[in-house]
Amino acid sequence: MHAHAIDNLRYIRKTMERAGSFTAVPGIGGMLMGSTALAAAWIASHQVSGFAWMAVWLGEALLALGIGIAGAELKSRRAKLPLISGPARKFVAGFSPAMLAGAVLTAVLFRAGHPEFLPGVWMLLYGAAIVSGGWASVRVVPLMGACFMVAGTAALWWTGIPNDAFLAAGFGGLHIIFGTVIAVKYGG
């Protein structure tokens, strides 16, 4: 009886954690990240030096990271689940390698004087990170990652189009669209 009760509680917890993958990605956080990316694209487009342009986007990346963590924390709290739960750990484990690769490529490309490739690399690797981190989540999460990968590929292909336009469409537009879908359909 005792073992059965413990087993049942474990099952409830496990199911809640697995089902938590449906809610781990914050939709409202995504919408906010999209809005700040649009603002960053506008500010970055007015910079004359490459360093200033890079500083704007690095600042935006840090801000987006903060929004993402805060959004996930608020969502976990609403669902009465710890932030560092099974699904969240899986997401971070899948998400991090591609993001680290993106950081290395950013440094290398910027140092080599090829900032025109950065928007494509950022979106391609961010998309890959979302696809692999969100693989166990609802379909809309890896779909968002796939869209970022397409946007990144397009940015790498058509380097003639201004960088900030691609970044506004990707980090701004895609975050707002998919963030809205996740917020409406998957509880915030």
Give 41's contacts (C-beta < 8 A, 6+ positions apart): 164, 165, 167, 168, 171, 172
- Per DSSP, 49 falls in state S
Token pair of 113 as six digits: 């004087």
Using the minimum distance from each CB to other proteins, give the nearer residue, 16 or 109: 16
Residue 116 corresponds to which amino acid? E
Is residue 98 a contact partner of residue 31, using CB atoms and an 8 Å limit? no
Q: Minimum distance from CB of 148 to other proteins (Å)?
A: 23
Q: Does 9 bind other proteins (CB under 8 A)?
A: yes
- Specify the residue for token string 């058509």: 158
Cα(188)–Cα(181) distance, integer angstroms: 9
Least distance CB 79 / other proteins (angstroms): 4
Nearest to 19 by CA among 66, 101, 85: 85
3-state secondary structure 89-118: HHHHHHHHHHHHHHHHHHHHHHHCCCHHHH
Residues 11-30 touching other proteins, rule: CB under 8 A, are 11-12, 15-16, 18-20, 22-23
- Half-sphere exposure in the Cβ direction for 39 (13 Å, CA): 11
Interface map 114-153 toward other proteins (x if CB under 8 A): ------------------------x---------------
In terms of CB distance, is 16 or 63 closer to other proteins?
16
Q: How far is the CB of 86 from other proteins (least distance, A)?
A: 12
Stretch binding other proteins (CB under 8 A), from 9-17, 65-73, 118-126, 167-175: 9-17
| Nearest approach, Cβ of residue 84 and other proteins (Å) | 16
Pick the stretch among 44-52, 63-71, 78-86, 90-98 that binds other proteins (CB under 8 A): 78-86
| Interface residues toward other proteins, by CB under 8 A | 1-2, 5-6, 8-9, 11-12, 15-16, 18-20, 22-23, 79-81, 138, 185-187
